[in-house]
Structure 1
Amino acid sequence: MTQPATTRVARRRDRRKAEIVRTATALLSEHGYQGMNLEDVAERTDIAKATLYHYFSGKDELVAAVIEAMTTEVNQRLEQELGRVRDRSHLEQIRTLMREQIRILTDTAPEVAPLFSWPTTWPDSFQDTIKDSRRRHDAIFRRVVEAGLAAGEFDCPDADVALQCLHGVLNQSSLWIRPSLPPERKAQLWDAVVDTASRMLSLRAASAG
């Protein structure tokens, strides 16, 4: 009887911890690092502030958990979409990644944009964490771009410059493709951004888009 009871306790703890992380994510998105505090997290989660310390030692540990959770979720979604088109051309693969990234930023998880896509003031203690998050995210796109270059499918002169420009285009899309737009209009804009951004990698993308 002890093991099932222990398992149930662990599941409840995991659910509560995930709820706290979701609440902190919303607050970070709304107010940034400086504006987020544990009192608001506790109030929105409907628990005592002291209870938070059963799950996280303090604000920085909670924020680190938010960054890791968001990084993992976004990257998993990108990898899942990439897996669907892995047998297709590199151009189709990168277009699929771009479209999913835009969909995340402007539709399914707009809270990602204020934390990762726009210039944000993070304390020095988080600079390495944010850099690592962006490096892991970039690696998914970079893998496809470098494979496309090796296969002769892409002809951009500098992969690093192309990737920087590509991320810039995708991030900026979250500023004007608002979640409140009708789904049909959002889909049209997603396609337009993907078509335009694809041309940074290959002139052949212009005719394929």
Structure 2
Amino acid sequence: MPSRNGAETAERDSDKPGASRLSRRRDRRKAEIVRTATELLSSYGYQGMSLEGVAERTDIAKATLYHYFASKDDLVSAALESLTEEVLTRLDARRRTVSDASATEQLRALVDEQILILTETAPEVATVFSWPKSWPELFDEPMKDMRRRHDAVFRTVAEEGLRRGEFNCSNINVALQCLHGILNQSSVWIRPGVVADHAALRRDVVDCALRLFV
């Protein structure tokens, strides 16, 4: 724990002219490093991603990376958390656009948004989380937690639909597992060169997914 004098010094430093500018610059550089690490994870998986590769792509010395992240695993953790938060933020924003609608329409919006994320707006999400055998054990629990947080978004709406009598599924856990399976496969079904009309196929996938509940 920092000493009282140390805390006071940090507070004085933050009040100095230019301190916020330096902080913003550091935050931008840190975000750039995380984005680069995510790109490498998406392309090569955990084993293929290296601090040397991140340093080269961001055009900074490898030693400089240690000013931001203590290790490769620290950086990978930040990249995974950043992706998770991005997905959760997008899902929350999409759900809020239909917050007054039925549970069916809310679930439809969430499923549609998730497929958009995986196939168009952030396809790296699908590829990063599709390397199950390459992750060290230390990521087992964090990734389980990320999946639980993601599942909770859909589960909340599914449970509300059951309470309202809109949904009729005998086992919500099975239905949600099947839903996640459909979502995961959507990045395989809807990709460049496979079908011309992505929007139409996405609607079909959403309709099929909703039949698990309605």
TM-score (norm 2): 0.90
Structure exhibiting the larger radius of gyration computed from Cα positions = 2
**CA distance in structure 2 between the partners assigned to 1:180 and 1:75 by the alignment:** 29
> Distance between the aligned counterparts of 1:63 and 1:17, measured in 2?
13
Instruction: Return the match for 1:136 from 117, 136, 149.
Output: 149
Give distance in 1, aligned partners of 2:90 and 2:131: 20
AA matched with 2:213: L
How far apart, CA to CA, are the structure 2 residues paired with 1:174 and 1:17? Answer: 29
Q: How many residues align?
A: 201
Residue 181 to residue 109, structure 1, CA distance change in 2 (3 Å): farther
Matches within 5 A, 1:169-188: 169-179=182-192, 185-188=197-200
1:116 shift after superposition = 2.3
Match of 1:26 among 36, 39, 61: 39
Residue 196 of structure 1 aligns with which residue? 208
Asked whether 1:77 is paired with 2:94, we answer: no
2: CA distance, partners of 1:187 / 1:12: 39
Equivalent residue runs for 1:146-165 within 5 Å: 146-165=159-178
Give me the identity figure in percent.
Answer: 61
1: CA distance between counterparts of 2:156 and 2:98?
14
Is contact 2:42–2:127 with CA below 8 Å preserved after alignment? yes
Measure, in 1, the Cα distance between the counterparts of 2:120 and 2:178: 22
Consecutive unaligned residues of structure 1, counting only runs of 5 or more, are: 203-209
Tell me what 2:113 maps to: 100
Alignment root-mean-square deviation, CA: 1.6
- CA shift at 1:176, angstroms? 2.3
Partner of 2:197, secondary structure, is helix
Deviation at 1:117, TM superposition (A): 4.9
- TM-score normalised per structure 1: 0.92
CA distance in 2, matches of 1:4, 1:189: 54
Stretches of structure 2 lacking an aligned partner (at least 5 in a row): 1-12
